[in-house]
Structure 1
Amino acid sequence: MDWLAALITGLALPAAATALGFAWKARTGRLHAARAAGAAGAASVRDETIEALELERAALGSAATLVQFSTEYCSRCPSTARQLTGLAAEYSGVRHVEVDLTHRGHLAERFNVLQTPTTLILDADGVPTARIGGVPRLDAVRDHLDALTGRTRVTS
């Protein structure tokens, strides 16, 4: 390899890695709305979701549920759980449920969890309305919960 090709490669690889890192960081923690299933499909999606999560209907909130996927070795999961529990306490009818994937890997495959924490936001019927990979940005979660619960907030 000549020196020019080596120089170009030596400069291009770190630049590409930096660009990918910035793209990953920008995407992590963002709320992504789930696709609407339609009226007929919503009941089916709800039943599949609740059954797949192995949750009792009583574990879900009456207005919304924050389902956090975590593992034993996740360093960011305990602080995320505290934040989501506190956020759920701000709303009437919103619950936070933590699902440990350490010994339930089939759930990671079923819900396509590639990193922990990952959070699903379920509506009152148990239908997923949003998904967040990584530590959630709480303002976005609040805005989404406001829309689900019909709560209005005055922002300063």
Structure 2
Amino acid sequence: MDWLPALIAGLGLPAVATAVGLAWRARTGRLRETSAASGSTETDAAALDLSPGTLGSSATLVQFSTEYCSRCPATARQLAGVAARYDGVRHVEVDLTHRADLADRFRVLQTPTTLILDARGRASARIGGVPRLDAVHDHLDRLTRRTHVAS
């Protein structure tokens, strides 16, 4: 075997893998604002079969989980804690283990994935992976029109 291709493979593949990993990490947990689908009459809450009593009056944190997700229980505790700090905000967990239709409908490729629904039940933000809580607080502050003070 020629030493130059072996050297390129030996140094190049780890460098590419590191770059891809860093890009993935930078993207995971980031809040992305969403826009309402034009012409759609069904709310995201209705598509999720969430009753009006399940929704928060200001916002709802919808966490998509599966039975085998190792990060989902900790994420659920964090999001429940965030929801408890705001009047009118609730946390709802949706198990996708036996609901592939919802995973397809909401294009969930990883768990946890979190949707933030506004007071009308429409998605206003989406987070793939474990959410960055400062971004969740900022978004909820805008939806609830309040100022969050870190404690």
TM (norm. structure 2) is 0.93
Which residue of structure 2 aligns with residue 63 of structure 1? Answer: 58
- Structure 2 gaps, min length 5: none
- Between Structure 1 and Structure 2, the one with more helix by share is 1
Which residue of structure 1 aligns with residue 2 of structure 2? Answer: 2
Q: CA shift at 1:48, angstroms?
A: 4.0
Spell out, residue by residue over 1:13-47, the C-alpha distance to the aligned partner (whole angstroms, 9 max, x if none).
11000000011111111101102446xx4x72xx2
**Counterpart check, 1:127 vs 2:122:** yes
Which residue of structure 2 aligns with residue 141 of structure 1? Answer: 136
Question: Percent identical across equivalent pairs?
Answer: 72
For 2:130 and 2:9, the matched residues in 1 are separated by 34
Which residue of structure 2 aligns with residue 102 of structure 1? Answer: 97
SS in 1 for 2:125: strand
SS in 2 for 1:59: coil
SS in 2 for 1:6: helix
Equivalenced residue count is 151
Q: CA shift at 1:105, angstroms?
A: 1.2
SS in 1 for 2:53: helix
For 2:150 and 2:52, the matched residues in 1 are separated by 34
Which residue of structure 1 aligns with residue 23 of structure 2? Answer: 23
Q: CA shift at 1:54, angstroms?
A: 1.4
Q: CA shift at 1:9, angstroms?
A: 1.9
TM (norm. structure 1) is 0.90
- Structure 1 gaps, min length 5: none
Q: 1:154 to 1:58 in 2, by over 3 A?
A: closer
For 1:122 and 1:50, the matched residues in 2 are separated by 8
Q: 1:108 to 1:89 in 2, by over 3 A?
A: same
SS in 1 for 2:143: helix
SS in 2 for 1:112: coil
Contact 2:59 2:117 in 1 (8 A): yes
Q: CA RMSD in A?
A: 1.7
For 2:149 and 2:84, the matched residues in 1 are separated by 18
Which letter maps to 2:19?
A
Which letter maps to 2:122?
V
SS in 2 for 1:7: helix
Spell out, residue by residue over 1:43-84, the C-alpha distance to the aligned partner (whole angstroms, 9 max, x if none).
72xx24123211112211110000000011111111111111
Spell out, residue by residue over 1:85-117, the C-alpha distance to the aligned partner (whole angstroms, 9 max, x if none).
111010010000000001111111111111100
